[in-house]
Amino acid sequence: MLLTIRALGVGLCMILVSPALAHSGIGINGGQLIEAANRHIEFIGGPAYESIIFALSDARQKPIRAAGSAAYATIIQREQQLRIPLRPDGENWLSANLPAPMLLGASVSVFVELATGETLQAQFEAR
């Protein structure tokens, strides 16, 4: 009986702690990380950046191939909206140069259609 109670207690602790063990919102490249359709999109960029990069990975943060993907980012700042096509850059990155540096607090949305046909979407804030 005591062993059963201990096992239940340990199980309950693991359930309560598991959200804390999930990704913290920081990706392996130091960017903002968001889960999208059991995949991760990491936003590498921010205020004063002249380019943006999105790194694609699976739930374990292993790279997802970016080649063959169609993607774009929408940046909203100072009540202006800018849609920027992204291109594959390296194994799992999608990137673009910006016409002007991004401002603090800009809203950044990304839409990706992988070569497999899967679609991913995420929204970030430049910080």
**Structure confidence at residue 47 as a pLDDT band (50, 70, 90):** confident
Question: Could you tell me the residue ranges of all domains in the chain?
Answer: 24-125
Give the pLDDT confidence of 83-120 residue by residue, as tens digits: 999 999 999 999 999 999 999 999 999 999 999 999 99
What CATH fold (topology level) applies to the domain 24-125?
A: Immunoglobulin-like (2.60.40)
What pLDDT score was predicted for residue 91? 95
Mean pLDDT (the chain, rounded): 85
Give the pLDDT confidence of 18-31 residue by residue, as tens digits: 333 334 599 999 99
**Structure confidence at residue 54 as a pLDDT band (50, 70, 90):** very high
pLDDT at 14 over 50: no
Comparing C-alpha atoms, which of 33, 23, 47, 38 is closest to residue 110?
Answer: 33
pTM above 0.85, yes or no: no
Residues 6 or more apart whose Cβ sits within 8 Å of residue 68: 88, 114, 115
Query: Pseudo-torsion of CA 100, 102, 107, 108, nearest 10°?
Result: 80
